[in-house]
């Protein structure tokens, strides 16, 4: 099977070992290759770098403001990245994401977490842990049937096997 014939999966770039995180490090996830044979190929995405945040950079967090949830710079809460992350996700959805058959997101990321993300109030207190990263939220809204998982779910054999099966089904439907 050639690379072009493989099923394409989106992956948060830090999980692939790219040093794109706010602290200049990566979160390489060796378990990413478990359960994935030669039938898959990964395409990395780092929304934060793509919208112009440097490496290293101040971290961001999701804050419940009067106007809704905002991705705010932790050091200077007047610096907001929500619109840039949303615009980037919409651009990618129209081009690259439509060609994917699944996505492995980085948990706890204000841009990439597919769920269970902390949302803070304007004073820095945790309001709840039901948030979704800005990029991941747009992708999941645009492609509600796209199989998604984070690295914690992927590390669980049962969840990983279910995700891989869902990806194969999604891919086969896309060929019809």
CA–CA separation, 66 vs 49, rounded Å?
27
Q: Where exactly are the structural domains of the chain?
A: 3-175
Going by C-beta distance under 8 Å and a sequence separation of 6 or more, which residues neighbour residue 64? 119, 120, 121, 122, 127
- pLDDT tens digits for the chain (176 residues)? 566 789 999 999 999 999 999 999 999 998 888 767 678 999 999 999 999 999 999 999 999 998 899 999 999 989 999 999 999 999 999 999 999 999 999 999 999 999 999 999 998 999 999 999 999 999 999 999 999 999 999 999 999 999 999 999 999 999 88
Q: Are 124 and 65 in contact (CB under 8 A)?
A: no
Q: Are 102 and 168 in contact (CB under 8 A)?
A: no
């Amino acid at each position: 099977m050639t690379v072009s014939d493989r099923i394409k999966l989106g992956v948060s770039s830090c999980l692939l070992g790219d040093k794109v995180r706010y602290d200049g490090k990566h979160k390489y996830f060796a378990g990413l290759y478990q359960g994935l044979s030669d039938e898959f190929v990964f395409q990395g995405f780092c929304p934060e770098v793509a919208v112009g945040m440097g490496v290293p950079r101040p971290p961001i967090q999701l804050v419940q403001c009067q106007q809704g949830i905002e991705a705010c710079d932790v050091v200077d809460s007047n610096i907001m990245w929500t619109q840039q992350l949303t615009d980037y996700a919409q651009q990618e959805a129209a081009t690259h994401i439509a060609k994917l058959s699944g996505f492995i997101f980085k948990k706890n990321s204000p841009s990439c977490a597919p769920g269970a993300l902390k949302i803070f109030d304007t004073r820095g207190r945790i309001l709840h842990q039901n948030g979704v990263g800005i990029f991941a939220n747009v992708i999941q809204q645009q492609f509600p049937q796209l199989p998604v998982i984070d690295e914690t779910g992927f590390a669980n054999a049962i969840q990983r096997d279910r995700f891989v099966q869902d990806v194969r089904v999604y891919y086969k439907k896309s060929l019809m």
